[in-house]
């Protein structure tokens, strides 16, 4: 496979990957924020909470899996393994600049992946940890 064709294939993969990660994040955020009285009215938050509680198993599964998908898919782009697609193969300079400018967020995502989602850290225990609300 030519280098340009490989770069196009990688770029095409990450276009879809970014869309999927963004969709997973928006699903998680929508479910998380729908019950926030700081975002919606008390009446709406209570109504949404009642629905979420009524279908608790479904919504908790969707919420958790959406967050896991977002974290895992978002970090694919930064993989340095030789046997994986990576944005390093497209533009290493720009990617390293992006990483430098977003180091704090990327470190938090990596911590979630390494300690909770890809592996279960002994310190996290069997129940994991509470994910705090993001600022909207």
Backbone angles phi, psi at 49, to 5 degrees: -60, -40
Residue 28 lies in a domain: yes
End-to-end CA distance of the chain: 44
What value does the mean pLDDT take over residues 74-92? 87
* Residue whose pair of structure tokens reads 């911590």 in the numeric block: 111
Residue 22 within a domain: yes
Q: Above pLDDT 70, what percent of the chain?
A: 86
Domain for residue 125, yes or no? Answer: no
Answer yes or no: is 21 within a domain: yes
Tell whether 130 is covered by a domain.
no
Domain residues for the domain of 18 are 3-117
Tell me, what's the pLDDT at 85? 84
pLDDT band at 128 (very low <50, low <70, confident <90, very high): low
Number of domains forming the structure of the chain? 1
Q: Exposed (0-12), middle (13-18) or buried (19+): which is 77, by Cβ within 10 Å?
A: buried
Indicate whether 123 belongs to any domain. Answer: no
Write down the pTM of the prediction: 0.80
Question: In this structure, is residue 127 part of a structural domain?
Answer: no
Structure tokens at 18: 């970014």
Is 72 domain-assigned? yes
Cβ 13 vs Cβ 84: under 8 Å: no
User: Is the pLDDT assigned to residue 103 strictly greater than 90?
Assistant: yes
Digit-coded pLDDT (tens) for 6-62 = 889 999 999 999 999 999 999 999 998 999 999 999 999 999 999 999 999 999 999
**What is the distance between the alpha carbons of residues 72 and 16, in angstroms, rounded to a whole number?**
14
In the structure, what pLDDT confidence band is assigned to residue 130 with cuts at 50, 70 and 90?
Answer: low
């Amino acid at each position: 496979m030519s280098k340009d064709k490989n770069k196009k294939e990688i770029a095409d993969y990450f276009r879809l990957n970014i869309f999927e990660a963004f969709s997973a994040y928006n699903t998680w955020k929508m479910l998380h924020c729908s019950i926030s009285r700081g975002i919606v009215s008390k009446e709406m938050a209570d109504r949404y909470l009642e629905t979420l509680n009524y279908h608790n198993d479904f919504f908790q599964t969707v919420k958790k899996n959406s967050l896991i998908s977002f974290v895992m898919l978002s970090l694919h782009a930064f993989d340095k393994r030789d046997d994986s697609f990576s944005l390093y193969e497209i533009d290493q300079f720009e990617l390293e600049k992006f990483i430098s400018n977003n180091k704090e967020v990327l470190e938090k995502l990596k911590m979630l992946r390494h300690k909770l989602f890809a592996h279960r850290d002994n310190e996290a225990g069997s129940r994991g940890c509470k994910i705090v609300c993001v600022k909207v």
